[in-house]
Structure 1
Amino acid sequence: MVRNLRADTANPMPLVAIVTGAGGGIGRALSQSLAERGYRVVLGDRCEASLTATLQTLPPPALGELWLADVVDETAWQTLAEQLIARGETVGLLVNCAGVLLAGRLADSPASELRRVVEVNLLGAMFGCRAMAPLLAAAAPTTRPASPSAPPLPIGVLNVASIFAPLAPPGFAAYNASKAGLVTLTQTLRGEWGPLGMTATAVLPGITRTGLFKTGSYTADRLAEAVTSRGDQGTLSAEFVARESLRAYALRREIAPIGRRAGLRYRLLHWLPGVVRSRVRRDANRLLEESS
């Protein structure tokens, strides 16, 4: 279901950026950064209270609109696209940041939870790209900046994946696979959209201090406590990830690890894949055994 809760269209049409998962964490930080660049941000999430809180943090005189919807609802995406077209708005950027977490051995994971993770993290992004592709393509020749004080970002999509995609730690099968799929989706879109003047970037943040771990699903209470504790110890802030993600996108990078540790591990995977994967598997399996 989609509800247009607030749309401020008093000023001349700025470029629109659509951000899913905007109710908190990295999605909120990205929304703030894009608002600072002069975009009118469509804030997407399922929680109205969280979206309202994000809207209130946008720097004035930022324009924002709440899009209360589930990213796995294909109809919601089509309705949003139709609304934007009807208002004659120009969409310059889609940010797929909505994500959910499931931790535990695959054999212990409920089928409904596995399906939900893949649908939100991957299928929702596919629906978004499918619905917004015509609007982004129409904006691709646009050369005006989003703000007089900031250079324009490329037209296209920014997909927030995870360093878990290439590392594939045990205990996160659905999350790892869905984020890896998001990377492959990005690579595919660069080929499809490139001739149309659009681009696509996938960022791979390391462990970031957000609500992802607290709101995740777990196969055991002790595992929830252990994973949440590690999440709280993450060295990255949502604001840092947002800033570095937009920098990577502005440079039109295809895949960009975010954070010093994530970057080091990503590079080492190409040179010493066996060593890196062995260490990741050992540490993750120890966590699973201690929490079982």
Structure 2
Amino acid sequence: MGNSYEGKVALVTGASRGIGEAIAKGFAAEGANVILASRKIEGLQPVVDAITADGGKARAVATHIGQAESIDALVEDIKSNEGRLDVLVNNAATNPVFGPSMFTDEAAFDKIMGVNVKGPFLLSKGLLPLFQEQESGSIVNIASIAGVIPMPGLGIYSVSKSALIGLTKVLASEWAPFGVRVNAVLPGLIKTRFSQALWDSEEILKQTLELQKIKRLGEPEDVVGAVLFLASEEAKFITGQALPVDGGTLP
């Protein structure tokens, strides 16, 4: 276990599995006190147990990123318990529709945009006073290469990730005077349950690997290093950037 984040507090949303779980474990392994957020506390507890079993520090908070009142409760919880926050990783996301955008109804559109864009905005905004008080803070938004190039079946999800990249750049510009850096990581096709409809499709998997220079599926752990770097002091002169972690898909 390293100590580059010793004494730091990191919040990771969508941390019950997949990329979020790997990121939470990565911060804990580097000494951070990690707050894990997801809709169901029972999904988070095994991750907390795994972190503490390895000597790390972690706790779980049930939070629905698609509901403003739940976000407000999380912000107040952190203010009351830790009283500070050094890193926010906006990872929670949803995509209830696999297929072209013409098959996305209004309710699904609102859900996708609410969780994937509005939620990260409200959570970041709610935590801004802590960052301002500290005159420091780092936000890493987990977007997607689908926000840059359309991908089969992702429709409005791709739109939401484009918006999240845009939000990253706006907040980076507006919040730099407060000492807050805001960056994004753009994963390619990562082997998680969330993306299973993509890598289960022989056609989509073949198309994806043809575009990649590294001819394999990404793993959640492949994303961790980029997040740890962007959130760290080593990246203190980097803000407003969108870093692909995609096996060389984007040019």
Normalised by the length of structure 2, the TM-score is 0.83
State the distance in 2 between where 1:107 and 1:83 align.
40
8 Å CA contact 1:91–1:136 kept in 2: the answer is yes
Structure 1 vs Structure 2: percent identity of aligned residues? Answer: 24
- Aligned counterpart, 2:9: 16
8 Å CA contact 1:72–1:127 kept in 2: the answer is no
Where do residues 59-138 of structure 1 align in structure 2 (5 Å cutoff)?
60-87=54-81, 89-101=83-95, 102-138=97-133
Q: Determine whether 1:188 maps to 2:170.
A: yes
Amino acid at match of 1:36: A
Of 139, 154, 176, the match for 1:157: 139
Amino acid at match of 1:124: G
Deviation of the 1:248 alpha carbon? 3.7
Please provide the CA RMSD for this pair: 2.5
- Aligned counterpart, 1:52: 45
State the distance in 1 between where 2:154 and 2:161 align.
11
Q: Which moved more, 1:241-250 or 1:19-28?
A: 241-250
8 Å CA contact 1:93–1:136 kept in 2: the answer is no
Amino acid at match of 2:153: G
- Give 3-state SS (helix, strand or coil) of 1:180's partner: helix
Amino acid at match of 1:32: K
Would the alpha carbon gap of residues 190 and 118 (structure 1) be closer, same or farther in structure 2, given more than 3 Å must change? same
State the distance in 1 between where 2:135 and 2:51 align.
26
8 Å CA contact 1:16–1:89 kept in 2: the answer is no
8 Å CA contact 1:213–1:227 kept in 2: the answer is no
State the distance in 2 between where 1:91 and 1:42 align.
10
- Give 3-state SS (helix, strand or coil) of 1:167's partner: coil
- List alignment gaps of at least 5 residues for structure 2: 1-5, 210-215
Of 261, 275, 279, the match for 2:248: 261
Q: Kindly tell me the number of residue pairs found equivalent between the two proteins.
A: 232
8 Å CA contact 2:218–2:247 kept in 1: the answer is no
State the distance in 2 between where 1:245 and 1:160 align.
9
State the distance in 1 between where 2:177 and 2:146 align.
30
Where do residues 167-246 of structure 1 align in structure 2 (5 Å cutoff)?
167-214=149-196, 226=201, 230=205, 235-246=217-228
Deviation of the 1:168 alpha carbon? 1.9
Would the alpha carbon gap of residues 213 and 87 (structure 1) be closer, same or farther in structure 2, given more than 3 Å must change? closer
Amino acid at match of 1:194: A
8 Å CA contact 1:160–1:202 kept in 2: the answer is yes
Please give the per-residue CA displacement for 1:30-58, whole angstroms capped at 9, x wherever unaligned: 10011122221111111223201211221
- List alignment gaps of at least 5 residues for structure 1: 1-12, 142-154, 217-222, 268-292
